Amino acid sequence: MLLMEDYVGNPLLLNVTYLTSHNSIHHLYHIIRFLRKTKLKLKGIKTIIEWGGGYGNLAKIFGRLAEENKTYIIIDLPLMCCIQWIYLTTILGENKVNLIQNSDEKIAVGKINLLPVCFIDKYELKGDLFVSTWALTESSKYS
């Protein structure tokens, strides 16, 4: 169940035993490797900040792996936040995802928050874990 893909987006299944894609295997591998190398416990991580979330798969994998709801913040381009919202609300439900649509809205504790990068200077973000798969290499030095 942890790796099993949802039908949204019609992902290419790489592994028929687990009904999963390469992307999900890749994300889970890096999460497990990070936790083992650092000896951190997922239970101790309350807030995760992700810089550039793709379509939202890493957030989905973290959510499935965790025993309790984490506050998860994806900072991304507005268009990508819309794609993430469609993907994540379709598989998790609208009550699990908070799309920030203006800078007056609060980060929702225990939910996946989609924060368009244009609002980032309005928030004082503090996380227990900062992740970025590839987005940092595609970002400016200022970012």
CATH dotted code for 41-138: 3.40.50.150
Contact between residue 129 and residue 45 where contact means Cβ atoms under 8 Å apart? yes
Domain-by-domain residue ranges, the chain?
41-138
Report which of 37, 45, 61, 56 is spatially closest to residue 126, judged by C-alpha positions. 45
Computed over every residue of the chain, the mean pLDDT equals 92
Structural tokens at position 110: 């225990």
The one-character DSSP state at 21 is: -
Q: Residue 80's pLDDT is what?
A: 97
Over residues 45-68, the pLDDT tens digits come to 999 999 999 999 999 999 999 989
Tell me the pTM. 0.92
